[in-house]
């Protein structure tokens, strides 16, 4: 009969109701602070990345907005330029048309002056003049107005004692304009003051004043 060596086959005491596995030592689990640290670092890195992307998007949006504003400004300038050119072309076309009609209007005016504008011819002439006026044609040039080389063309020249400046004394052919644009100057006869007339007039006035002083006994003596 063999003797059992005490202590080799003895098992540790296991509390009542517990499994044998509970008696084995368990591995140490990390603390809450140690587990939260890597997660916090990852969130911060992700937030920084999103912020950088947002900044890039904002920068790109600002650039696209500036491009759009510049494009809109260029388009508005283009529209204004096209409208200005369209108006200029229209005015030139109207001016060219009315310039070709000026001889016809001159013939109508001469026929009216001679009393030949009668019947159907009168109706046609008046209709033509009305259409020309609606297109902006304006007639200018009147006797007695001062001569202006910008709108008058002097075809005849004379002197007159009753004018104090170069004056249009006869309208040989009326002038025409469209708005501020003169398409034909008024062709006129002008008269200038008689040479020496102003000097003679001044001398006559001085003589008259001297005669008045002599008749009144001269100037008062002190």
Beta-bridge mates of residue 168: 190
Alpha carbons 154 and 191: distance in angstroms, whole number: 10
Using the structure block, give the residue that is written with the tokens 């004056």: 167
Block residue for tokens 């304009």? 177
The residue whose two tokens read 């001398």 is 203
| CATH for the stretch 137-205 | 2.30.22.10
Q: pLDDT tens across 45-99, in order?
A: 888 888 888 889 999 999 999 999 999 999 999 999 999 999 989 989 999 999 9
User: Of 192, 185, 198, which is closest to residue 157 (Cα–Cα)?
Assistant: 192
* Closest to 135 measured CA to CA, from 164, 166, 102, 94: 94
Find the range with the poorest average confidence among 3-12, 153-162, 185-194. Answer: 3-12
Q: Are strands 175-178 and 152-160 parallel, antiparallel or unpaired?
A: unpaired
pLDDT tens for each residue of 90-120: 989 999 999 999 999 999 999 998 988 888 8
How many helices (H) and strands (E) the chain has is answered by: 3, 6
d(CA 151, CA 148): 6
Domain-wise residue ranges, the chain: 50-135, 137-205
Would you state the structure tokens that stand for residue 137, as one six-digit string?
């044609």
215 pLDDT tier (thresholds 50, 70, 90): low
pTM over 0.85: no
DSSP-assigned letters across all residues of 76-106: HHHHHHHHHHHHHHHHHHHHHHHHHHHHHHH
Whole-number Å distance between alpha carbons of 101 and 136: 13
């Amino acid at each position: 009969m063999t003797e059992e060596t005490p202590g080799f086959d003895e098992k540790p005491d296991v509390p009542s109701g517990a499994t044998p596995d509970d008696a084995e030592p368990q591995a140490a689990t990390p603390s809450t602070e140690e587990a939260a640290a890597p997660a916090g670092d990852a969130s911060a890195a992700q937030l920084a990345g999103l912020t950088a992307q947002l900044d890039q998007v904002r920068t790109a949006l600002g650039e696209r907005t500036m491009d759009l504003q510049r494009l809109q400004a260029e388009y508005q300038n283009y529209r204004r330029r096209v409208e200005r050119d369209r108006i200029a072309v229209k005015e030139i076309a109207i001016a060219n048309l009315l310039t070709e009609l000026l001889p016809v209007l001159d013939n109508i005016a001469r026929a009216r002056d001679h009393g030949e504008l009668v019947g159907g011819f009168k109706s046609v002439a008046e209709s033509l003049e009305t259409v020309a006026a609606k297109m902006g044609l304006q007639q200018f040039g009147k006797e007695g107005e001062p001569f202006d080389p910008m709108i008058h063309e002097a075809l005849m020249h004379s002197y007159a004692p009753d004018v104090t400046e170069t004056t249009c004394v006869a309208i040989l052919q009326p002038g025409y304009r469209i708005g501020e644009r003169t398409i034909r100057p008024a062709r006129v006869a002008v008269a200038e003051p008689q040479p020496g007339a102003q000097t003679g007039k001044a001398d006559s006035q001085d003589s008259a004043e001297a005669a008045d002083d002599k008749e009144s006994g001269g100037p008062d003596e002190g």
